[in-house]
Amino acid sequence: MNTDHPSDPAEPGSPREVPGAWRSWADVAPELAELLDPEGLDLVSRAAEAAARWHGGQLRPTGEPYTVHLFEALEVLAIGAGERDPQVLAAALLHDTAEDTAATIADLEAEFGPVVAEYVDWLTKPPAASKREKRTGKVAYLRRLREAPPQVIAVKLADRASNVATLDRMPLDFQRRYYAETVTYVMPLAEGAPFYGPWFAAWARRFAHLR
């Protein structure tokens, strides 16, 4: 859902404003090569290729390629939060595949192993037959994340950071709903986290007019 870069919440715990620089694999590869060993870089590279293949021509509401969001989430994890586990980074790139593409959790396990597949499974909302079912299912999904492994929570926080950074570019009614959802269900997951806690606190101050 997010578009470009935040104009604000860069202050807390980050060496640079994130998300801000990674919008394609060409942006990612040189920096990630300095952070990961060759095996880890290969896993993340394969995840980026698979995400691009599965998401295909999908666009965000802003008209950007959907993969921009995935690279933003990856940047939040690797540069903002300092994540170095290649399986967590791969899951960030693949977190929407089972929900929004033809890929299945079994496909992910076959290609990336059981750990990445498990992380993505946690991050996948159940299918819904109606708007009401979709709303209730999403709330149940967000509540369930409180029981998720910390690696899964880290990916979810990076995902949401990308999505909310430029919330003001969305319609006002959406902004209000998404702000309330983020404050109610997502920000509690960030409490005490060295990077995510301050980042979301700064973001909430920026968008406090939506309360």
Active site residues: 99-100
Q: If phi over 0 gives left and psi between -120 and 50 gives alpha, with beta otherwise, what is residue 13? A: left
CB-count exposure of residue 137 (10 Å: 0-12, 13-18, 19+)? middle
Please choose, from the candidates 88, 87, 86, 52, the residue with its C-alpha nearest in 3D space to the C-alpha of residue 70.
52
Type of residue found at 62:
T
Torsion over CA: 147, 149, 152, 153 (sign)? positive
DSSP string, 70-82: HHHHHHIIIIIS-
Pairwise CA distance, residues 181 & 51, whole Å:
26
Cβ pair 97, 50 in contact under 8 A = yes
